[in-house]
Structure 1
Amino acid sequence: MFVSDCLGLNALGHLTIGGRDTVELAQTYGTPLYVMDEDEIRRACESYRESVNRYYGGRGLVTYASKAFCCKAVCRIVAEEGLGLDVVSGGELYTAKSVGFPPERIFFHGNNKTVQELIEALEYGVGTIVVDNFDELMLLDQLAVSRGKVAEILFRIKPGIDAHTHDFVRTGQIDSKFGLALETGEAMEAVRQAVGMKGVRLKGVHCHIGSQIFDIEPFEHAAEVMLGFMADVKAETGRELEILDLGGGFGIKYLPEHDPVQYDRYMQRVAGAVERTCKARGLRTPFIVIEPGRSIVGPAGLTLYTAGAVKEIPGVRTYLSVDGGMGDNPRYILYQAPYEAMVANRAAEPKTRTVTLAGRCCESGDLIGEHMQMQEARAGDIIAVLATGAYNYAMASNYNRIPRPPVVMLREGRARVVVRRESYEDLVRNDED
């Protein structure tokens, strides 16, 4: 019935998450409100961890892509679950440092890291820096040598894989701002340069073919292509790379009809492709890293709103306005991301209305979804938008000077605020008088 296992109905017919009544949560903490089920997050971490251990014999690491949802509480959870952490900015690294995340389990990504970010990574002892381009390689080498350090690196490679997803979230093809291309020979040239440098130690390669992918075949093909490149590196330089980072991009269920691949099935199939290719190309099986983000936190979250005006335009559409919008969820305006929504206080009733869920921002494109099936709604109802745990808080803004919502985390039914609601004072805090 629901897109996430942590959702349900109670005796009042209200929507629940983690066993808690969402209407009650909205009344206690106000709206808009992000709610996350910590138990669901931990279950996803455990599932990934167990799959990697089973199919790679313990020679692998699950690394959480923190860009999906980064705050102190999530970094602590990931650390406690024994996962690594993928960061892409100095801000994400600072958040990890603030909770003492083990630096050796941090992977620093990004296509245009600043000098200051690379210095911070070196000083904190970040375990792996994923180098994106030649300029970064030379800069990192210079910075490391000048500090008497050696940075362990992976190269980000574009494997040329079609991920069958939205153009904005396809990152493995040659026409991408990310990484080094195989077809042009620049990836091999980067390897040749790195081998002769004193400030870096090349440990392996990384790829990421896209996001919200439902097929297994693109991941299998990416593994085969990357291992083929690793075999070419061995033949040309004599160096056998130790690490293969296959990135993330695993799809989740945003709509009831979505059918994402189970983590276990993905791991089994890709592990088979790795084993076959290594045997055929004369390679030792490398240490495998995967980087799920959305699939760990996405299904564990929802956003609660209070309904405002209902505007019915005969023969056109019905607008249902809420007290949030593109400031707390810009994904529809960015790439028409689909969501399921419902009236939380009447969740047991049938969905009889088709509405456009509109935000409160002064922007005609401020929509959370169009042609959405929902229960009959009126002003004052609590509206729940499901599976918003990833890329909602992470992408939130203060457009129209609207404060960002708080995040409430549930653990065994107990609620706590992990990110407080912004105040008007927060909005002007950095303004000069």
Structure 2
Amino acid sequence: MTEQTQPAALNAIDTRVFPPSARRGNQCRELKIGEIRATDLTAQFGSPLYVIDEDAARSKAREVRDALRSEAERIGTTATVYYAGKAFLCVEVAEWMAEEGLAIDVASGGELAVALAAGVKPETIGFHGNNKSISEIERAVAAGVGTIIIDSAIEIERIASVATAQGRVQRVRLRVNSGVHASTHDFLATSHEDQKFGNPLADAPKLVAQILGHDSLDFVGLHCHIGSQIFATEGFRESARRLLGVYPELAKLAGRDIPELNLGGGFGIAYTPAQADEAPEVSRIARELADIVAASCEEFGVPVPKLAFEPGRSVIGQAGVTLYTVGTTKSVQLAGSDAAADPADLGFGERLYVSVDGGMSDNARPALYGADYHVVLANRESSAAPALARVVGKHCESGDIVVPRDLLPGDVRPGDTLAVATTGAYCWSLASNYNYVPRPPVVAVTNGTARLIVEGETEEQLLAKSVSGATPWSPAPRAAACEIPPAAH
């Protein structure tokens, strides 16, 4: 048994992946988050349960905001930092982010509605998406959304038409693909050409000319997002250089300097202690990004534009913890070939399957991306020897895995509470009702108090949506049923 697998290490709470407030109580030795015991939280709000440490989320928002702004100021410009609504959005979290000086990016009419309900200033909202509906565009323009990100030539005409009809001039950015493929999962890399977002960089002059042809559109710059969960700045370096390389041509088309550049973000975070040494410091990322922009602007002879960043999960991810209750456990023998297939499994002759009361319905990332997570026994400490554990859910899928591989005390048993770290981003927002399992609630904790910020669902609520005996509907007769409608513009 190595030093890392001693029982003391199994009981440790690593605040590189858990919120800074997470610790074991001095007497009860239970996990506490925001000074509240995990079992008190599940007793009050149920299990599974998403827990968000408000202080951790706010602190990280300030850290990211200050780092990017100060480095932008160093090179003679300003920076706007957008909170990623898709990572996790509810009214209260939107309020936190606005209060901490972050703008909000949204990717649907629903996310826009949440941001507006939270009192977020419309001019600080950026509206993303590759298929914004006419009604969504109308709502965004009417609300005074600060920037709409154009994802295709069709959207140029749609947004211009809506803005003209409303007598407004709408600020827009053009999303382009720089061709830089971030070193991440293919589904998280968003700037190579063969994917649904954005436009080829080579098409930027033609599309910008189209935008400039509309008096109802105010073109403010390019937008690019090279991916998510990015640990290095090399991709940003090349992407920024390619984007700024076309700014001289765009400036000629516009007859003025292009005032802004959104470099995206997707800064990576550690999901496991093993990743903690690799995760970049926000201050280092900010410094390197600023240097990249300054050098590229000097190279191409363009003034340094106002910058915008979308740091993504790095703001909210570590602030979240999911609590589960163990239902069953079983040990499975590892054949020699199975153990040898993954070096991390060597030294263990069996795997302990620990089934909990949630699963892929509350955390789809392991199934979608093969994501790793870190788990600890939350309701007690244990002196038992470590077991190679796989935490799995209750769904009817063999891929229903919450934590693919971690070490838990070998005496973990039914009724125990487990805590999975770093679940603040892309867990609740990707949640589903697979197998008719209700989505869990979300609670915010701070300084010994807890409050519900997203209500959980009940089976009765799910059942009420299942309609029986509704009045049948049939389409109205049409004179030319086979006529193909004209293309929408």
Q: Normalising to structure 1: TM-score of the pair? A: 0.96
Relative to structure 1, is the Cα distance of residues 408 and 349 closer, same or farther in structure 2, using a 3 angstrom cutoff? Answer: farther
Deviation readout 1:59-81 (Å, 9 max, x if unpaired): 11111011000111111111111
Superposed displacement of residue 20, structure 1: 2.3
Q: Residue 257 of structure 2: SS of its match in structure 1? A: coil
Deviation readout 1:260-313 (Å, 9 max, x if unpaired): 111111111110111111122221111111112211110000100000111112
Aligned: 1:328 with 2:362: yes
| Structure 1 residue identity aligned to 2:443 | V
Residue number in structure 2 paired with 1:9: 24
Aligned: 1:426 with 2:461: yes
Residue range with higher mean Cα deviation, 170-179 or 232-241: 232-241
Residue number in structure 2 paired with 1:223: 240
| Structure 2 residue identity aligned to 1:363 | E
Are the aligned partners of 1:103 and 1:125 in contact in 2 as well (CA < 8 Å)? yes
Residue range with higher mean Cα deviation, 376-385 or 222-231: 222-231
Residue number in structure 1 paired with 2:72: 56
Are the aligned partners of 1:15 and 1:347 in contact in 2 as well (CA < 8 Å)? no
Deviation readout 1:38-68 (Å, 9 max, x if unpaired): 0001101111121122111261111101100
Q: Structure 2: how far apart are the matches of 1:351 and 1:77? A: 42
Q: Structure 1: how far apart are the matches of 2:23 and 2:417? A: 16
Tell me which of 193, 197, 206 is aligned to 1:174. 193
Tell me which of 36, 42, 47 is aligned to 1:26. 42
Tell me which of 333, 347, 362 is aligned to 2:396. 362
Q: Structure 2: how far apart are the matches of 1:51 and 1:31? A: 37
Aligned: 1:278 with 2:297: yes
Q: Structure 1: how far apart are the matches of 2:385 and 2:125? A: 45
Superposed displacement of residue 111, structure 1: 0.8
Q: Structure 2: how far apart are the matches of 1:285 and 1:331? A: 38
Q: Residue 450 of structure 2: SS of its match in structure 1? A: strand
Are the aligned partners of 2:82 and 2:308 in contact in 1 as well (CA < 8 Å)? yes
Tell me which of 416, 425, 432 is aligned to 1:397. 432
Q: Residue 352 of structure 2: SS of its match in structure 1? A: strand
Superposed displacement of residue 101, structure 1: 1.1
Residue range with higher mean Cα deviation, 222-231 or 132-141: 222-231
Q: Structure 2: how far apart are the matches of 1:217 and 1:78? A: 28
Relative to structure 1, is the Cα distance of residues 7 and 347 closer, same or farther in structure 2, using a 3 angstrom cutoff? Answer: farther
Are the aligned partners of 2:228 and 2:312 in contact in 1 as well (CA < 8 Å)? no
| Structure 2 residue identity aligned to 1:169 | L
In structure 2, stretches of 5+ residues that fail to align are 1-13, 336-350, 469-489
Residue number in structure 2 paired with 1:112: 131
| Structure 2 residue identity aligned to 1:343 | L
Residue number in structure 2 paired with 1:198: 215
| Aligned residues between the structures | 431
Note the 1:7-406 alignment, pairs <5 A.
Answer: 7-11=22-26, 12-57=28-73, 59-182=78-201, 185-258=202-275, 259-315=278-334, 317-347=351-381, 352-376=386-410, 377-406=412-441
Residue range with higher mean Cα deviation, 385-394 or 356-365: 356-365
Q: Structure 2: how far apart are the matches of 1:276 and 1:368? A: 43
Superposed displacement of residue 92, structure 1: 0.2
| Structure 2 residue identity aligned to 1:305 | Y
Rg comparison, structure with higher value? 2
Q: Structure 2: how far apart are the matches of 1:351 and 1:117? A: 56
Residue range with higher mean Cα deviation, 383-392 or 143-152: 143-152
Superposed displacement of residue 413, structure 1: 2.7
Superposed displacement of residue 420, structure 1: 1.4
Superposed displacement of residue 210, structure 1: 0.5
In structure 1, stretches of 5+ residues that fail to align are none
Are the aligned partners of 1:326 and 1:368 in contact in 2 as well (CA < 8 Å)? yes
Q: Residue 374 of structure 1: SS of its match in structure 2? A: strand
Are the aligned partners of 1:13 and 1:348 in contact in 2 as well (CA < 8 Å)? no
Are the aligned partners of 2:88 and 2:426 in contact in 1 as well (CA < 8 Å)? yes
Q: Structure 1: how far apart are the matches of 2:312 and 2:35? A: 24
Are the aligned partners of 1:346 and 1:375 in contact in 2 as well (CA < 8 Å)? no
Superposed displacement of residue 237, structure 1: 4.6
Q: Normalising to structure 2: TM-score of the pair? A: 0.85
Are the aligned partners of 2:35 and 2:446 in contact in 1 as well (CA < 8 Å)? no
Q: Structure 2: how far apart are the matches of 1:172 and 1:324? A: 34
Q: Residue 67 of structure 1: SS of its match in structure 2? A: coil
Q: Residue 86 of structure 2: SS of its match in structure 1? A: helix
Residue number in structure 2 paired with 1:409: 444
Q: Structure 2: how far apart are the matches of 1:204 and 1:429? A: 47
Residue range with higher mean Cα deviation, 250-259 or 339-348: 339-348
Are the aligned partners of 2:172 and 2:217 in contact in 1 as well (CA < 8 Å)? yes
Residue range with higher mean Cα deviation, 268-277 or 53-62: 53-62
Q: Structure 2: how far apart are the matches of 1:145 and 1:52? A: 35
Residue number in structure 1 paired with 2:7: none
Q: Structure 2: how far apart are the matches of 1:49 and 1:426? A: 39
Q: Structure 1: how far apart are the matches of 2:105 and 2:40? A: 35
Are the aligned partners of 1:351 and 1:375 in contact in 2 as well (CA < 8 Å)? yes
Are the aligned partners of 1:216 and 1:261 in contact in 2 as well (CA < 8 Å)? no
Q: Structure 2: how far apart are the matches of 1:268 and 1:400? A: 47
Are the aligned partners of 2:129 and 2:151 in contact in 1 as well (CA < 8 Å)? yes
Identity %: 40
Q: Structure 1: how far apart are the matches of 2:143 and 2:169? A: 13
